[in-house]
Amino acid sequence: MTTLLPALALHGGAGTITAASLSADDARRYHQALHDIAAAAQALLLEGGSALDAVCLAVQMLEDCPLFNAGHGAVFTHAGTHELDAAVMDGRDLRAGAIAGVSRLRNPVHAARAVMDDGAHVLLAGAGAEAFAQERGLAFVDPTYFSTPMRREQLERVRAAGRVVLDHDGAAAVAADAARTPLDEDRKMGTVGAVAVDRHGHLAAATSTGGMTNKRVGRIGDSPLIGAGTYADDRWAAISCTGSGEMFIRAAAAYDVCARMRYAGQSLAEATDAVVHQSLPAIGGTGGLIAVDRHGNLALPFNTEGMYRAHVRGAEAPVTAIHR
């Protein structure tokens, strides 16, 4: 079997992240978190771990990090609750698992992986998803675990303005309304995700999110929808998306990258660029994605001011970035 150089990319969301509003201390915190998470997944890959295990580890760590809107520190719904979504896909055989609208699972990505491993279904939602996870012995927490005071403050300001906003795009507007320096919590990004190729050439993708601030209860975005926010196929690429979920659903954004490579003969760079800078903007879609192909080529395009991201190849030091 051919041995390849493993590669991995991860994101912590894309949107309005102006350099002026992000303090040097905040930037260092994000860079350090992205670096440490990428390094942990890299170590797993270098030890011979699978792409699937690597992306699940990276997303679990992103869910546990309060800097990002997934798991601990997730945004609130209009009702002041949390509804979390996640998906996992294995490029080897197109197996996939996803959960949506859960509020007590510490790590939604673990539940998505369990759904995939079980194999009976692809997507479970709400109480049924939580019952399934409980049967599998996954960790549960009180819903208050996901809350932070600043997330609550963010909800109240956005709700008072009568808006539903992407966490990352709401930051600038909320800060302007408050006529003060933006809070760290207001600048947290939305969806998190990871993609990887392991030394055997297998691909995998995982995505997790807390959704949109002040979203209607029951709203489900692109993250747990296979082909919209998450997709992986060993023949072509693994993709994890972040941004205006409704538009990514309408564009079948993640799958479209693979379709362009398969049917139009486009490279990974060409396919991801077309989706992010042509297809999505044509219907008002904002955000970005991360992708890796079976040769280890990486693409991390976005059409917003910034995207929290990191990538690593082989034993090289992880590279992190926020702006262009």
**Per-residue DSSP letters for 187-226?**
G-BS-EEEEEE-TTS-EEEEEEE---BTBPTT---STTSB
Tally DSSP H helices, then E strands, for the chain.
Answer: 10, 12
Q: Within a domain: residue 1?
A: no
Residue 126, domain CATH: 3.60.20.30
List helix spans (H) across 161-309. Answer: 167-178, 245-251, 253-263, 268-274, 280-282
Q: Within a domain: residue 2?
A: no
Answer yes or no: are the C-beta atoms of 8 and 55 closer than 8 Å.
Answer: yes
Q: Is 222 annotated as a binding residue?
A: yes
Q: Is 219 annotated as a binding residue?
A: yes
Q: Taking the model in full, what pTM does it have? A: 0.91
Query: Can you give the pLDDT at residue 169?
Result: 53
Number of domains in the chain: 1
Query: Can you give the pLDDT at residue 164?
Result: 60
Task: Please pick, among 148, 191, 286, 320, the residue that the annotation labels catalytic.
Answer: 191
Give every CB contact of residue 115 below 8 A, 6+ residues apart in sequence. 97, 98, 99, 121, 122, 123, 124, 129, 132
Q: Is 191 one of the annotated active-site residues of the chain?
A: yes
Query: Can you give the pLDDT at residue 151?
Result: 66
Q: Within a domain: residue 316?
A: yes
DSSP 66: T
Q: Is 283 annotated as a binding residue?
A: no
Q: Is 243 annotated as a binding residue?
A: yes
Query: Can you give the pLDDT at residue 311?
Result: 98
Q: Is 245 annotated as a binding residue?
A: yes
Q: Is 242 annotated as a binding residue?
A: yes
Q: Which domain holds residue 61?
A: 7-321
DSSP 145: G
pLDDT along the chain (324 residues), means of 10: 86 83 88 98 98 98 93 83 94 98 96 98 98 98 80 70 58 43 40 97 97 87 97 98 96 98 98 98 97 98 96 98 92
Q: Within a domain: residue 186?
A: yes
Q: Is 221 annotated as a binding residue?
A: yes
